[in-house]
Amino acid sequence: DSGVTQTPKHLITATGQRVTLRCSPRSGDLSVYWYQQSLDQGLQFLIQYYNGEERAKGNILERFSAQQFPDLHSELNLSSLELGDSALYFCASSYGQGAQNEQFFGPGTRLTVL
Amino acid sequence: AQKITQTQPGMFVQEKEAVTLDCTYDTSDQSYGLFWYKQPSSGEMIFLIYQGSYDEQNATEGRYSLNFQKARKSANLVISASQLGDSAMYFCAMREPHGSGNTGKLIFGQGTTLQVKP
């Protein structure tokens, strides 16, 4: 158990809908990273928050947004869903932002868009 | 641009034997970290081992060791005494420190599927 929690574990929804994925980092970790894992794109970085502030953006679509709350949990919002958004979404947390700081991954949320 | 390359889509190994999973990386930074993660069929990402770019000795964690060759920019994972439970997808990843245009994100390779035969 990494100490990072993600809910829900599975999500099935229809095209055009909006969903929210939730992540609670390990106790004491200030950084939260969101990644998307799909068959065609592999594991891709989406966005990072550090202590409530957005710090970096990767290949995140405009239909997607995220935030980190004062208690450091984070939510990833996906709207106007398309079939291609079906993927495994991971949240990872890290105490610091240095190259040596390990990122601990949550169990992931498997999103299926029908 | 930073890049991780894993050239072995799939590997087989006999139980109790050792196996090496290849990983090469490309970066212009001097400070970086190299990680290996295991992803079993259940989907979770499990941290295995870390090597810092300034570490002079190869990292080891139990049956896992990392063969770090900085000049060749390679960071191969060696699993000794393979077990059936080692069957999984393995990802090599690199992390650069946040700052100077870096995000601190992990950059992943495409992964290697390892199957351990009884």
> Mind spelling out the 3-state secondary structure of A50-70?
ECCEEEEECCCCCCEEEEECC
Interchain contact, A97 vs B98, CB within 8 Å: yes
Give residue-wise pLDDT tens across range B49-100: 999 999 989 999 999 999 999 999 999 999 999 999 999 999 999 987 666 6
Interatomic CA distance for residues A103 and B111, integer angstroms: 18
Are the beta carbons of A34 and A23 closer than 8 angstroms?
Answer: yes
DSSP, res A80: S
Residues of B with CB under 8 A from a CB of A: 31-33, 35, 37, 43-47, 50, 52-53, 91, 95-99, 103-108, 110-111
Interchain contact, B44 vs A43, CB within 8 Å: no
Q: Which residues of B touch A90 (CB under 8 A)?
A: 45
Are the beta carbons of B11 and B113 closer than 8 angstroms?
Answer: yes
Interatomic CA distance for residues B6 and A95, integer angstroms: 28
Q: Which residues pair with B51 in a beta bridge?
A: B34
Interatomic CA distance for residues A108 and B79, integer angstroms: 26
Q: What is the pLDDT along chain A (114 residues), one digit of tens a residue?
A: 889 999 999 999 999 999 999 999 999 999 999 999 998 889 999 999 999 999 889 989 999 999 999 999 999 999 999 999 999 999 999 887 776 778 899 999 999 999
